[in-house]
């Protein structure tokens, strides 16, 4: 039995990028297999930095109300450190850090001021906004080994402790100046996880809902980790597995994408023109070709309704997408993107339009259902 948990803010719609409300549908399907990772929580170093921060909260007795502003300052410190460690490795905020560090400054400024933050909205777009939910859901810091690993790390670094104690003492309006030469000494804190730290991350970050069948298969069958086609990967995973729950979950994910991907391509194709006559729609070869025949076992009524659109005429399919967009827009208190007229449809919103003449719905997908994040974490740990 599956339960739909509280919606993850990392995959809820920000702005108007999801006119058909598909993110909630593919995310729910993905959560049936990968319960905690999101599309934007795929960096082991970002998880390491959160672990260090929570260990410091306990070590330095930082009150909960002060922890968030402290963390934003700490993230800046570790951003300069990770750039010092490997200037070629990307991370959120690297552009700001690189601009500063390429000037070879003797010190770097750290504060909660927007001028010193490494992103336009560091809380939302940095580690806190993207990782705090999965981190807490995984309960990484609620294990005996967590304290042993990270307390040991920070207590072995006297200069590091002194530096973060200064960050702790600063108010949100105050600025700290950190000597860049000292950053080299902090680099070991974010070395590639080994031994006990690696085991902790494997146990917590690489969980699935099917008795950890994913990591078993990726470990035992290295070629799977190189498969780049989404549907081929799902088929290969199913073929290698004897876990019936795992196989049925992959089947559900596969059929969900076989509904959502072609419908998304049709809608985005419609956006490439400001007006379509009904005759044009009905005779359009791309809309005719972008069809699948998914198995809808286990689908809720909303998903079954979407799947049924793929069996309709071009015009009725498009009208179904218009209705879906109207419903989604109404829930967001915004205007629909398409308007029906007596002779066709009028597109009112062109953002996100695209047309791919080489799109084949049986072979190509739009969403990875958190599998890409899982694989990225796996490869970073191995």
Sheet bearing 338-340, strands edge to edge: 275-277, 344-347, 338-340
Which residue is listed with tokens 């902790």? 200
Of the candidates 85, 75, 50, 61, the one whose C-alpha atom is nearest the C-alpha of residue 200 is 50
3-state secondary structure 101-112: HCCCCCEEEEEC
Whether the CB-CB separation of 262 and 317 falls below 8 Å is answered with: no
pLDDT tens-digit readout, 319-375: 999 999 999 999 999 999 999 999 999 999 999 999 999 999 999 999 999 999 999
Strand partners, 107: 179
The Cα 76–Cα 85 span in angstroms is 14
Query: What average pLDDT does this structure show over 282-306?
Result: 95
The Cα 144–Cα 332 span in angstroms is 44
pLDDT tens-digit readout, 180-189: 999 999 999 9
Whether the CB-CB separation of 325 and 266 falls below 8 Å is answered with: no
> Taking the mean position of all CA atoms in its chain, how far away is CA 11?
7
Q: Residue 17's pLDDT is what?
A: 82
pLDDT tens-digit readout, 193-222: 999 999 999 999 999 999 999 999 999 999
> Taking the mean position of all CA atoms in its chain, how far away is CA 155?
32
pLDDT tens-digit readout, 15-68: 358 999 999 999 999 999 999 999 999 999 999 999 999 999 999 999 999 999
The Cα 35–Cα 19 span in angstroms is 25
Identify which has the larger pLDDT, 283 or 14. Answer: 283
Q: Residue 13 pLDDT more than 80?
A: no
173 pLDDT band, cuts 50/70/90, is: confident
**Contacts with 237 (C-beta within 8 Å, 6 or more apart), sequence order:** 214, 217, 224, 246, 250
pTM above 0.85, yes or no: yes
The Cα 63–Cα 380 span in angstroms is 33
């Amino acid at each position: 039995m599956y339960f739909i948990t509280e919606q993850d803010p990392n995959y809820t719609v920000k702005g108007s990028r999801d006119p058909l409300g598909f993110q909630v549908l593919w995310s729910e399907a993905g959560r049936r297999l990968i319960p905690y990772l999101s599309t934007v929580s795929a960096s082991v170093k970002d998880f390491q930095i959160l672990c260090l921060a929570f260990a410091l909260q306990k070590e330095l007795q930082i009150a909960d109300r002060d922890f968030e502003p402290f963390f934003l300052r700490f993230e800046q410190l570790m951003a300069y450190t990770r750039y010092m460690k490997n200037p070629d490795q990307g991370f959120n905020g690297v552009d700001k850090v690189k601009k500063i560090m390429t000037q070879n400054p003797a010190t770097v400024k750290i504060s909660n001021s927007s001028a010193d933050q490494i992103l336009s909205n560091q809380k939302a777009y940095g580690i806190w906004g993207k990782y705090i939910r999965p981190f807490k859901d995984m309960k990484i810091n609620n294990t005996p080994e967590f304290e042993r690993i990270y307390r040991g790390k920070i207590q072995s670094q006297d200069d590091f402790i002194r530096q973060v104690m200064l960050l702790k003492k600063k108010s949100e309006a105050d600025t700290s100046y950190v000597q860049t030469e000292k950053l080299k000494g902090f680099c070991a804190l974010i070395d590639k996880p080994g031994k006990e730290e690696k085991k902790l991350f494997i146990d917590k970050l690489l969980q699935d809902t099917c008795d950890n069948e994913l990591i078993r298969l990726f470990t035992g069958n290295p070629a799977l980790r190189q498969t780049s086609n989404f549907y081929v990967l799902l088929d290969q995973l199913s073929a290698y597995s004897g876990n019936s729950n795992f196989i049925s979950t992959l089947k559900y994910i596969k059929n969900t994408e076989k509904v959502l991907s072609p419908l998304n391509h049709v809608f985005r194709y419609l956006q490439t023109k400001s007006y379509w006559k009904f005759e044009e729609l009905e005779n359009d070869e791309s809309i005719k070709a972008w069809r699948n025949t998914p198995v809808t076992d286990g689908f809720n009524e909303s998903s079954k309704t979407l799947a049924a659109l793929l069996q309709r005429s071009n015009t009725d399919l498009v009208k179904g997408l218009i209705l879906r967009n109207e419903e989604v827009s109404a829930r967001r208190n915004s205007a629909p993107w398409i308007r029906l007229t007596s002779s066709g449809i009028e597109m009112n919103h062109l953002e996100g339009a695209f047309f791919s003449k080489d799109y084949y719905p049986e072979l190509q997908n739009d969403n990875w259902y958190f599998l890409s994040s899982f694989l990225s974490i796996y490869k970073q740990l191995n």
